[in-house]
Amino acid sequence: MPRRQWRRHGELSVLSQKQSITSDPDLLTASLILLIPTTLAELTIFIGNLIAFTTKKARLLWGIQGAAMSVLGALVSLPWILSGLRNGMAVPFIALHVALLGVSITNIVQYQPPKKTSVLTPWFSIHPTHGAQVGVSYLGQF
């Protein structure tokens, strides 16, 4: 088996141009262990973002989760993207990240907080000279 050739690039170790992620079985297995669950999580959050977009419920929550997962997924699939740029394998991963980031940002931007409501709270008091008292206090609009 040929020796792996590594080139240091900052803190990341990048495979040389002669080696692809799919040509080394150990590297392929290690990357698939990270890639498959991350991609499934991204697809799940993408579907959740689409549902939030159409129903207009929990948009901010799904948008923030989707944006974070898009960045995390891009980092996990970075070796696949870098090695797949030459043979077109990177296209589905790039498309997934762009779609997830796009719908997430749309959900964040189009989020509208709920209208303010008046908050009333009931209270009960027993005073030695005034006796029992019951009331409702207005706490304001939130």
Q: Is residue 142 very low, low, confident or very high in pLDDT (cuts 50, 70, 90)?
A: low
Domain extents in the chain: 6-109
Predicted confidence (pLDDT) per residue in 101-136, tens digit: 999 999 989 888 777 777 778 877 777 777 777 778
Q: 68 with 38: CB under 8 angstroms?
A: no
Question: Whole-prediction pTM value?
Answer: 0.59
Overall average pLDDT of the 33-41 stretch: 83
Length of the chain: 142
Overall average pLDDT of the 49-76 stretch: 87
pLDDT surpassing 70 at residue 51: yes
pLDDT surpassing 60 at residue 4: no
Overall average pLDDT of the 35-64 stretch: 87
